Amino acid sequence: MRIVIAGGHGQIALRLERLLARRGDEVAGVIRRPEQAGDLLAAGAEPVVCDLESASVGDIARHLEGADAAVFAAGAGPGSGIERKDTVDRGAATLFADAAEAAGVRRFVVVSSMGADGQPPEGTDPVFAAYLRAKGAADADVRSRAGLDWTILRPGRLTDDPGTGLVTLDESTGRGEVTRDDVAAVLMGLLDTPGTAGRTLELIGGRTPVEEAVRAVAG
């Protein structure tokens, strides 16, 4: 497969790129800064420099032409303010979805966040609340598109511990932690499993092997 990943220099994206490249897939990562290219090349991915906050739909669609799947894993990241939560976590996600439709790429997987549906609890940090609202709005936009075979993955609290290969994956899992390694492994499983299209799934660590957990949620 050829897979194009938005936010290609993110921690989950780099892990996913390594997994895909290792098994022989062709993978490209969309990055904002040219100096990030070396890390993608080391992961086995083709770096594509394109700023999702300023690019047009046509600019991005050209990079998606011929792809079998697109993954949105971009985010404004820690230290960014409320405005960039909207322009990246919402705006760039909808732009990438527009571009996927324009390029005829139906398979579309989104890395979202647990808690993105509904209003953030009272007392939530304002910037984090803006992040959750932006993710929720982006997810709602993607779910409304008949032109995409979408899957939305909502991990729990992310850790950098080594992956276990054991997870809980369902429409509702309850709160919990999950390693970035295991998130990447689940994303690869979702890309391999068209039957997961149309599902919004939560993910935390658990006791079920990744491949089995993905098969269980496939339609």
Chain position carrying tokens 């709005």: 137
Structure confidence at residue 14 (pLDDT) = 98
According to DSSP, residue 63 is labeled: H
Chain position carrying tokens 């932006």: 134
Residue 136 annotated in active site: no
Instruction: Give me the tens of pLDDT residue by residue for the chain, a chain 219 residues long.
Output: 999 999 999 999 999 999 999 999 999 999 999 999 999 999 999 999 999 999 999 999 999 999 999 999 998 877 788 888 989 999 999 999 999 999 999 999 999 999 998 888 888 999 999 999 999 999 999 999 999 999 999 999 999 999 999 999 999 999 999 999 999 999 999 999 999 999 999 999 999 999 999 999 997
All residues at 6 or more sequence positions from 66 whose CB lies less than 8 Å from its CB, including other chains = 2
E strand or H helix at 149: strand 149-155
Nearest of 214, 191, 158 to residue 5 by alpha carbon = 191
- Predicted model pTM: 0.95
Candidates 72, 96, 108, 131; catalytic one? 131
